[in-house]
Structure 1
Amino acid sequence: MESIPQRCEALVLHHTNYGESDIIVTLFTAQYGLLKGFAKAGRKSRKRFGAVLEPFTQAVFQWKQGRGAFLLLQEAELVDSRFGLRDDLQRLALASYGVELVSLLLEEGESYQHIYELLCSFLDYLEQGGDELCARLLFELRLIYLLGYMPHLLHCSECLKIFDDELIRFDANRGGSLCLDCAGSAGIAVDLGTIGSLARSLKVAHRQFEGFSFGQKTLQQAGLILGQVLQQILPREPKSLKFLSQL
């Protein structure tokens, strides 16, 4: 990893109180991926940090290199608090889920420019009151794609046949979409229209969330497809997923 500068824009993913007044913060940057920061007296120093250590906040942080993996945070200049996410429980839960996915799937110290842009755009769209179901579908789909885990969609993952049937099957453990001959009873039944919607969505810029409209069946089937893929690649189930599913 190249030398980390002492000043960089970052998104706060989460924080943990440490001792009587300190805070440990997980930051996400476009250039260096996930970073761990230590804010000495972070709960007391309003002048240096204010509310910028809250999750979803975007700020320009100044730090010194500490011992080990921790950066010693000196001060921060607010870019966007995204305070509006806290006004709606559903949006807050979905934002927390998106942040946790990133925390679980990304490596520390690696560059993730497009994923940084994706997450910021996702949070902005939610704060502005965008369609939550569409937002979740697009975020999960694009995150999987940008990380290189995208399954086969428009052709059979085993025989490579281009689909002409309206009904196919999907099994993430076997590489993605399957024709009926190869699938047998494996996987889940999905409409070719759902697969086509996912493929077309990937042709749009990863920062764009406006202008999408998915039918109820597409949302349901796409949720099963993306859920299978995420279950396969995640080290564990996100804690926020259980809470989100209860809303």
Structure 2
Amino acid sequence: MEVVDYDPELPAIKFSDESWEVADWVVACDGVKSKAVRIVSGGETPPKATGMSAFSMVIPDEKMASVKEMFKENNLIREKFNKDNGTVWFIRGGDRRLVVWWTCRFGKIQAFDMLMPDNEKYASNEEWTARCDKVCSRVPPDTLHKGKLCMLGDALHPTPPFRAQGGSQSIEDAGALERIATNIVDKSDLPRRLEMLDRLRVSRYPCAQMISSVRQDDLNLDERYIEVPSQCRKWF
């Protein structure tokens, strides 16, 4: 069932069948269209389109044997399949097309994001656009919790893929959550722990979001590299 609302004080989750589920603590990880952000930030903060769409896929490493064989003499590509190689590749094409390629699960999975601009030429292809997701971002909220409701992942910080930071920030969220949740013995301690979570994360994810908005093929790249660090200073 779909989550349609939250009560941050009980806390509780409301489902599409009008039922409510009460809990000790609610963590909203329901993506870029999360209903929780309106409650936590105190207003409507809809995701903002970046002008790009993305087609994502993951391929088991063993399925790419023919690719490895094809490029076995290419040292650069051969090294990309090295299980100890943690690099992220950004492959640029014309018309602001971009492929992001990275390896995950200790080399067992090859993951790809293929990005293209939103324009009439692509938008008219229904078969293609049906397989794509709009790349969105959102103004970073000043806090990640209200009452006993907190947000993590894309619900909190939808991040453009131009620096491959979306998944990384979500992993950091989970690590911080595990740290502040350890050894809670009384529910009355939860507000203090959530304040700790704010201090750990609120100066971190906004900067990753803003840096990730800079593309390597921006026409005003030098100006953007000056502008973004200046914007990040407000969080420190």
What range is the shorter-chain TM-score in?
under 0.3
**Greater relative contact order (Cα 8 A, min sep 6): structure 1 or 2?**
2
State the TM-score, normalizing by the size of structure 1: 0.24
